[in-house]
Structure 1
Amino acid sequence: MKRFIKKHPVGFTITVSTIVFTATVSWGIIALMHWAFFDIDRLEPGELITEETSPDGRYTVQTFRNNGGATVDYAVLGVLTFNEKDRGVKNIYWQYHEEEGEVSWVDDDTVQINDQVLQVPDEVYDYRRE
């Protein structure tokens, strides 16, 4: 290998540079596609179904019904609001073929949205990732 590099330094440099460039561009395209098509933080809420505050008052979860139009079924989006910190909101639940969004708090950091139990603020449920 060392002899090849010594004999063909320009060819070796071009080959390595091409591989690195192609890998970087491919990674960028994959990241952009994930952001554009699979990131639930880009979803619009829709019609408010319910809103429940955690027992200690730190969080509020709202569920929204999304109407995708004539050719797409309803979906439910669950949004977590941080009441004590100025962190805004975080989408934590996304379920397709669903119209109801029942919310109940198990404890201060555990919420149940329909049949899914989530540890807030870290866990997220997205039906596409099952």
Structure 2
Amino acid sequence: MKKGYNLGSFYLILVCLGLAVYSFYSNLSHTWLVAPPNYILLIFSLLAMILGIIGFKDKRNWRTKTRSWLTVIISTLLSIIFFLAILLSLFASSFGVNEHIKTVQSPDGDYTIDFYRYDAGAAGSFGIRGELNGPLWFKKRIYYRDTEEQVEVEWKNDRTVSINNHTLNLKEGETYGY
């Protein structure tokens, strides 16, 4: 059973690392965000750390010892990063940086878009952000515009939406404002 903890924790932390890297990439390239929220990734990385520590009991060869050390080191670093990301998002949301404006649905109910007002304060800009909701926690930013304070949404049909006079075909994956 010691082998299961060692190998399982190593694979779990590799999955967490992969999801964290993809989450960072998807935020930069505005693709679908398929990674779970940061608090879920924090729980997974803490679980991998605990299982990695238990895996130290497996002393069959140098690979198992190295795998346990790598698991504990990577999971500790990821746990710290996820914890800081959660604190930063809680701190930012407490000052109204991301204020939910409204949620709109397509006429057939297939698409749901959440709109947020963001404000970086004196250090940055303000504007409107629109996120298309997918299954589970999946999201994709489809509208991002600085210096706007209001959002006007009009559905042209079941797949086409006009946001502040900018038409987007959601079926084609169009975005605006990047």
TM over 0.5: yes
TM-score by length of 2: 0.44
Letter in 2 for 1:74: F
In the alignment, which residue of structure 2 is the partner of 1:99? 149
Q: Which runs of 4+ in 1 moved over 4 A?
A: 35-38
Q: In proportion to residue count, which structure has more helix?
A: 2
SS at match of 1:107: coil
Matching of residue 39 in structure 1 with residue 89 in structure 2: no
Supply the distance in 1 between the matched residues of 2:29 and 2:157 (Cα, whole angstroms).
27
How does 1:26-105 map onto structure 2 within 5 Å? Answer: 35=25, 38-40=28-30, 46-82=98-134, 85-86=135-136, 88-105=138-155
| Structure 1 unaligned regions, length at least 5 | 1-34
Q: 1:117 to 1:46 in 2, by over 3 A?
A: same
Q: In proportion to residue count, which structure has more strand?
A: 1
Percent identical pairs in the alignment equals 32
Letter in 1 for 2:118: N
Letter in 2 for 1:54: S
Shift in Å, 1:72? 2.4
SS at match of 1:100: coil
Return the match for 2:164 from 89, 114, 121.
114
SS at match of 1:112: strand
| Structure 2 unaligned regions, length at least 5 | 1-24, 34-88, 90-96
Supply the distance in 1 between the matched residues of 2:142 and 2:27 (Cα, whole angstroms).
16
Q: Does the 8 A contact of 1:64 with 1:101 survive in 2?
A: no
Supply the distance in 1 between the matched residues of 2:166 and 2:175 (Cα, whole angstroms).
10
Letter in 2 for 1:125: Y
